[in-house]
Amino acid sequence: QAVVTQEPSLTVSPGGTVTLTCGSSTGAVTSGHYPYWFQQKPGQAPRTLIYDTNIKHSWTPARFSGSLLGGKAALTLSGAQPEDEAEYYCLLFYSGARVFGGGTKLTVL
Amino acid sequence: QVQLVQSGAEVKKPGASVKVSCKASGHTFTDYAIQWVRQAPGQRLEWMGWIIADNGNTKYSQKFQGRVTITRDTSASTAYLELSSLTSEDTAVYYCARDQKGGSPPNYYYYAMDVWGQGTTVTVSS
């Protein structure tokens, strides 16, 4: 089974910009991996922010955006807010199966 | 209101099986697929498998193959996850999530994971 990798932790200043990445042990991440991004706060169920690389749900704040960057999937947060402090997980598709990354703990400080 | 409501917490002995349910309301059950995801305490999310609600087709993570069974009851708008041969490492919160259906026959695809259940805590302890 493929391994999906994320930065364990990142810190961003309020109002700042940060990019989280999502890599695959099988090689470059492409649109064919249909990258997803989820936000999870302590004690809560995950919330899907982005799917299919860059498509947002109606509830996804405009400050979040998804892309492919340097062979990885990327989630960029522009104008971080205190409420964005959370764990962020990516997910990639592999021939019908799905694999989550290890998560990135984002601190807004 | 579109929602997925999961069954209550379970405590099981090692070696036992557990069956968790996920009841859909507010939408037509057979228009969607259901994903199952779990999260052990302090650990990452882990994808377990999924079921297409209208035809019952399933796919499972290799990690759980042979130990997991996902089924659905369309008359009850409910999907089920059954996990057997439980060990302490199966102690986790189990989530279901809905995928929307896109495309046209026969080339449907499933996407979005737009609605999540509240989670079901399964504790495996002797």
List, for residues A62-107, the tens digit of each pLDDT value. 999 999 999 999 999 999 999 999 999 999 999 989 999 999 999 9
- At A96 the pLDDT is 82
B1 in contact with A, Cβ within 8 Å: no
3-state secondary structure of B99: strand
E-state strands within chain A:
4-6, 9-12, 17-24, 36-40, 47-51, 55-56, 64-69, 72-78, 86-94, 97-100, 104-108
B119 has pLDDT over 90: yes
3-state secondary structure of A36: strand
Cis peptide before B106 (omega within 30 of 0): yes
| Residue A17: count of CB within 10 angstroms of its CB | 12
Q: Which residue has the tokens 């057979």?
A: B30
Taking CA atoms, A84 is separated from A69, A78, A105, B4, B11, in Å, by 22, 11, 10, 25, 34
User: CA angle, A97 as apex, A93 and A103 as ends, to 5°?
Assistant: 60
A99 → chain B, closest CA residue: B47
A1 confidence band (pLDDT: 50, 70, 90): confident
pLDDT one-digit tens code per residue, B40-76:
999 999 999 999 999 999 999 999 989 999 999 999 9
What is the average pLDDT score of chain A? 97
The conformation of residue A81, written as its DSSP 8-state character, comes to -
Nearest to B62 among A1, A101, A103 (CB): A1
Q: Distance (Å, rounded) from C-alpha A108 to C-alpha A15?
A: 9
| Residue B49: count of CB within 10 angstroms of its CB | 21
Query: Chain A 58-87, CB below 8 Å of chain B: which residues?
Result: none
Q: How far is A72 from chain B (nearest CA, A)?
A: 19
Nearest to B59 among A48, A52, A96 (CB): A96
Chain A hits for B37, Cβ within 8 Å: 46, 100
B16 in contact with A, Cβ within 8 Å: no
Chain B hits for A38, Cβ within 8 Å: 45, 113
A41 in contact with B, Cβ within 8 Å: no
Q: How far is A99 from chain B (nearest CA, A)?
A: 6
- At B53 the pLDDT is 95
